[in-house]
Amino acid sequence: MRPYLDLLRDVRRHGVRKPTRAVLRSTGEKIDALSVFGRQVRFDLAAGFPLVTTKKVAFNAIAHELIWFLRGSTNIAYLREHGVTIWDEWADEHGELGPVYGKQWRSWRGADGEVVDQVARVVAGIRAVVEDPAASVGRRLIVSAWNPAEIEEMALPPCHTLFQFSVTEGRLSCQLYQRSADLFLGVPFNIASYALLTHLVAAVTGLEAGEFVHTFGDAHIYTNHLAQVDEQLSRDPLPLPRIEIDAGLRDLSAVSREQIRLVGYRSHAALRGEVAV
Ligand SMILES: Nc1nc(=O)c2c([nH]1)NC[C@@H]1CN(c3ccc(C(=O)N[C@@H](CCC(=O)O)C(=O)O)cc3)CN21
Ligand SMILES: O=c1ccn([C@H]2C[C@H](O)[C@@H](COP(=O)(O)O)O2)c(=O)[nH]1
């Protein structure tokens, strides 16, 4: 996980301290962040599954959150059933988050009421490129969660905003544009989530997973996470785990937790940090 640790060190050293809109629930205080604008890191998925090892990361929560996105859900009920609490702070009294990721990925509403399943389209597009590398969709394999017409109804405007796939010599790569990135809490989740998504899409299209390229807008460390970041930067990364996807997987809407296996994950001890809301 050197690329992640290098980015963390870069922002720790060179980030500019800025006020943010976010607050800490425990004290009600506004919280500052050390921030940079515009960075990129990349992970070769053949070299291992990019799950941060310098603290213990809750892979189970990551896998369930991705399954929840892929089912098109925007209510935290599914997450709660599986003991995942990461979205609780943003949900209303009915567990609703508004038209966030699941809605935009699976049922983006066009102006005339047309419903677009962006994930199904992109999978069909990848299959077309596997058949014919010159297929016209080859450089248009994009899913966007940023729907300007619906931003105001969302509990939080999408942070992982847009992603694109590319097929090269039997390998499937994915690049994410993340407009805003909480490097200590959110980013270890985001990296693992998109790496897992790349493996899942590769599995249903008969490809090998290639690279995950992570491009950032505002990448920041909240000032209440500085001690945990320093501790993490003093630790040596451990060898990466592997991911195994059930060979029977065909339909991304129906992927289950049991079809995903993380093998050989070893990490340093957990480091707690309060999330800024
Ligand atoms: N400030 C902020 N950072 C985020 O990363 C973030 C948001 N807000 N809002 C929406 C989602 C929710 N996400 C979250 C929220 C909480 C954790 C978190 O507390 N993680 C802890 C405990 C995980 C657990 O075991 O449940 C961690 O140590 O990783 C992670 C991602 C990512 N997003
Ligand atoms: O997947 C996610 C979701 C959220 N975040 C972080 C990035 C920011 O710290 C906050 C969002 O606040 P904004 O003021 O809307 O940028 O959540 C993340 O890192 N990853």
Sorted by where each begins, the domain ranges of the chain are: 2-103+117-263
pLDDT on residue 234: 98
Q: Whose CA is nearest to atom 20 of ligand 2?
A: 186
Average pLDDT on 248-257 reads 95
Q: Is the CB of 190 under 6 A from ligand 2?
A: yes
Report the alpha-carbon distance of residue 66 to residue 125 in Å, rounded.
Answer: 21
142-194 pLDDT per residue, tens: 999 999 999 999 999 999 999 999 999 999 999 999 999 999 999 999 999 99
pLDDT at position 113 over 90: no
Among candidate residues 22, 58, 159, 233, the one labeled active-site is 159
For the structural domain made of 2-103+117-263, what CATH number should be given?
A: 3.30.572.10
Tokens of 201: 């899409």
85 in contact with ligand 1, CB cutoff 6 A? yes
Q: Is 222 annotated as a binding residue?
A: yes
Q: What is the pLDDT of residue 112?
A: 86
Whether this model's pTM surpasses 0.95: yes
> Is residue 243 over pLDDT 90?
yes
Alpha helices in the chain (DSSP H): 2-14, 59-70, 77-81, 101-107, 118-131, 186-205, 226-233
Q: Is the ipTM of this complex over 0.85?
A: yes
Task: Decide whether any atom of ligand 2 lies within 6 Å of the 224 Cβ.
Answer: no
118-131 helix and 186-205 helix, angle to the nearest 10 degrees: 50
